[in-house]
A and B are shown apart, each in its own frame.
Chain A
C-alpha cells in the first residue's frame, strides 16, 4: 500500500517537472513555430544558476525566484542573436541551429561548473518527511507539487485574464490576424521565447534538489518533454497537462519494474504515438 502511494506521488512529481518544461517548449513552438532543442540545456542552466545563487548564501526560495529570470535573460539574448535571424526560414534551420546551441550550452556548463554532480542544500524544514496515507513522504517533494501547481495556476491566469496573455493565445491561433490588428509580432515572438525559457528555469530549480545537478541532466529532460508534447499534441496546452501526468506515471512504473530499460519504453510510446497518431492523443496538435 505504502509503495503504491509512493509511486503515485513520485509520478505526480515527475509528471509535474515534465509539465513545466514541456509547457515552456510548447509555448515557444505554438507562438513562433520554433522547436527549441536547447530547452533541456536551459533547464540545466536554471538548476546550476540556483546552485550558484545558494552558494552565495541565498535562500532556496530566493533562488527559485531569481534563477528563472537569469534563464529568461539568456533566452532573450539567444532569441535576439541566434533564433530571430532564421525565423523566416524552414524549420529545419532552427532545428539544426538549436541542436548546435544545445551542445554549446552543455560545453559552457561543463566549462563553468565542471563535470562532477552538485547537490542542492535545502532549508531544514524541507528535508523532513511527512507521514501521509500510511507512508513517510519527503516534505520537499510535496512542496514541489505545490510550487508546480502555483506556477501552472499563475500561467493559466496570465494567459486567460491579462491582455498580454490573450494576445499571446490569439497569436498562436491566427498570427496574421493579430499582426493585422497592429500588434508587433516581433515582440510576441520574443515574449514567447523568454516566457518559455523562464519556465525551463523554474523547472530546473525545482528539479535540482530532486535529482542531482549534472551537465547531462538536460538531455533526458529534453527528450522526455518532447515525448510529453508529442503525446499531448504539439502546441496544445491541455494535452500537455494530460500527457505529462501520463508519462510521469509510465516512467515511474517502468523505473520501478524494469529499471535499466525504463526510458526505452517511454521512447517507444512516443514513437508509436507520433507515427500513428501524429496529432497527439487528444487530436489537438498542429504540425507545420
Chain B
C-alpha cells in the first residue's frame, strides 16, 4: 500500500525531475533519434519496414496524446481512438468528395473538424471524473464506432473508404513528393510527429501544463 502511493506520486512529478537533467543532453538525444529516423528510409529501402516505422510513429503520436490526458490530468479515456478515426475519415472524405489535390487544407480541416467534434463531447465528459469519466468515454466511443460502422452511405461501413486520392506534398509551389510514395509520406509523418512532440513538450512545461503538479 505504501509503495503504491509512492508510485502514484512518482508519475506526475516525473517531468519536474527530468528538468534537472542537463537540457543540452536531452536535445542532443532527441536530435540523434530524429536523425536516425530521417535517414532510415534511405538506408533500408524495403517499403514494408518504411510503412511499419511510419505506423509506429503515428501510433506513438496517439499514445503521446493519450499521455497528456491520462498521465498529466489522470483522466482515462477509452475513446481516444475515436478521434483518430474521426480525423482520418474527415481527411478521407474531404479528399474524395471536395478537393482531391489540396493536402494542407485537408490536414488543417481534419484537425479543426476533430477539435470541433471533441468540444461538445469533452464539455459533457469533464463534468465527471474518475470512473464515471472512463465509462462515459466508453459509451461515446461505442457511439462513434456505431456511426462509422452503420452509416454505410458516407463511411462505407466495414468496406471503408475506397480510392482515397494521393495529393502531392507541395510547399510554396515546390512539389516535394506524392503522398502515394512511402518515403515521402514517411518523412511527412516524421515532421508532423516531431512538431507535435515539441508542441506537447512546450504545453506540459508551460504554466497551463503545470496542472498536474497541483494534484
Judged by a CB distance under 8 angstroms, whether A4 is at the interface is no
B117-140 toward A: CB 8 Å interface, digit per residue (1/0)?
000000011011011101110111
- In the bound complex, do residue A89 and residue B134 qualify as a contact, i.e. CB atoms below 8 Å apart? no
Q: Which residues of B contact A95 (CB under 8 A)?
A: 76, 131, 134
Minimum CB–CB distance for B5 against chain A, Å = 9
- In the bound complex, do residue A267 and residue B135 qualify as a contact, i.e. CB atoms below 8 Å apart? no
Minimum CB–CB distance for B63 against chain A, Å = 13
CA distance A267 to B124 in the complex (A): 13
Judged by a CB distance under 8 angstroms, whether A227 is at the interface is yes
- In the bound complex, do residue B142 and residue A267 qualify as a contact, i.e. CB atoms below 8 Å apart? yes
Contact of B4 among A88, A99, A260, A288 (CB under 8 A): A88
Q: Which residues of B contact A146 (CB under 8 A)?
A: none
- In the bound complex, do residue B131 and residue A227 qualify as a contact, i.e. CB atoms below 8 Å apart? no
Q: Is the interface of A mostly helix, strand, loop or mixed?
A: helix
CA distance A268 to B139 in the complex (A): 8
Judged by a CB distance under 8 angstroms, whether A218 is at the interface is no
Q: A92-B70, A226-B135, A227-B139 are in contact. Are A274 and B4 (CB under 8 A)?
A: no
Q: Which residues of A contact B76 (CB under 8 A)?
A: 92, 95-96
- In the bound complex, do residue A263 and residue B142 qualify as a contact, i.e. CB atoms below 8 Å apart? yes
- In the bound complex, do residue A89 and residue B128 qualify as a contact, i.e. CB atoms below 8 Å apart? no
Q: A90-B8, A95-B134, A260-B150 are in contact. Are A275 and B139 (CB under 8 A)?
A: no
Q: Which residues of A contact B132 (CB under 8 A)?
A: 274, 278, 287
Judged by a CB distance under 8 angstroms, whether A270 is at the interface is yes
Is the interface on chain B under 10, 10 to 19, 20 to 34, or 35 or more residues? 20 to 34
- In the bound complex, do residue A264 and residue B147 qualify as a contact, i.e. CB atoms below 8 Å apart? yes
- In the bound complex, do residue B130 and residue A223 qualify as a contact, i.e. CB atoms below 8 Å apart? no
Minimum CB–CB distance for B180 against chain A, Å = 32
CA distance A271 to B1 in the complex (A): 34
Residues 215-270 of A at the B interface (beta carbon under 8 Å):
223, 226-227, 230, 234, 260-261, 263-264, 267-268, 270
Contact of A287 among B130, B138, B143 (CB under 8 A): B130
Residues 127-184 of B at the A interface (beta carbon under 8 Å):
127-128, 130-132, 134-136, 138-140, 142-143, 146-147, 150-151
Judged by a CB distance under 8 angstroms, whether B89 is at the interface is no
- In the bound complex, do residue A275 and residue B131 qualify as a contact, i.e. CB atoms below 8 Å apart? no
- In the bound complex, do residue B139 and residue A91 qualify as a contact, i.e. CB atoms below 8 Å apart? no
Which residue of chain A lies nearest to B121 when distances are taken between CB atoms in the complex?
Answer: A271
Q: A263-B142, A264-B143, A267-B139 are in contact. Are A35 and B131 (CB under 8 A)?
A: yes
Minimum CB–CB distance for B139 against chain A, Å = 5
Q: Is the interface of B mostly helix, strand, loop or mixed?
A: helix
Number of interface residues of A (CB under 8 A): 29
Contact of A261 among B8, B125, B142, B146 (CB under 8 A): B146
CA distance A35 to B136 in the complex (A): 13
Minimum CB–CB distance for A207 against chain B, Å = 19
- In the bound complex, do residue A288 and residue B130 qualify as a contact, i.e. CB atoms below 8 Å apart? yes
Which residue of chain B lies nearest to A261 when distances are taken between CB atoms in the complex?
Answer: B150
- In the bound complex, do residue A275 and residue B128 qualify as a contact, i.e. CB atoms below 8 Å apart? yes
Which residue of chain B lies nearest to A271 when distances are taken between CB atoms in the complex?
Answer: B139
Minimum CB–CB distance for A18 against chain B, Å = 15
Which residue of chain A lies nearest to B129 when distances are taken between CB atoms in the complex?
Answer: A287
Judged by a CB distance under 8 angstroms, whether B14 is at the interface is no
Judged by a CB distance under 8 angstroms, whether B74 is at the interface is yes
Q: A274-B128, A275-B127, A287-B131 are in contact. Are A99 and B136 (CB under 8 A)?
A: no
Minimum CB–CB distance for A232 against chain B, Å = 13
Judged by a CB distance under 8 angstroms, whether B83 is at the interface is no
Q: Which residues of B contact A268 (CB under 8 A)?
A: 143
Q: Which residues of A contact B40 (CB under 8 A)?
A: none
A201-213 toward B: CB 8 Å interface, digit per residue (1/0)?
0000000000000
Q: Which residues of B contact A90 (CB under 8 A)?
A: 8
Minimum CB–CB distance for A268 against chain B, Å = 7
Minimum CB–CB distance for A251 against chain B, Å = 13
- In the bound complex, do residue B128 and residue A278 qualify as a contact, i.e. CB atoms below 8 Å apart? yes
CA distance A95 to B77 in the complex (A): 10
CA distance A89 to B9 in the complex (A): 12
CA distance A287 to B135 in the complex (A): 12
CA distance A255 to B71 in the complex (A): 39
Measuring CB to CB, which residues of chain A are less than 8 angstroms from any residue of chain B? 35, 37, 88-92, 95-96, 99, 223, 226-227, 230, 234, 260-261, 263-264, 267-268, 270-271, 274-276, 278, 287-288
Measuring CB to CB, which residues of chain B are less than 8 angstroms from any residue of chain A? 1, 4, 7-8, 70, 74, 76, 78, 124-125, 127-128, 130-132, 134-136, 138-140, 142-143, 146-147, 150-151
Return 7 A-B CB contacts under 8 Å, by A number: A35-B134, A260-B151, A264-B146, A267-B142, A270-B136, A270-B139, A288-B131
With A223-B139, A275-B125 given, name 14 new contacts (CB 8 A).
A35-B131, A35-B134, A89-B8, A91-B131, A226-B135, A261-B150, A267-B143, A267-B146, A274-B128, A274-B136, A275-B136, A276-B127, A287-B131, A288-B131
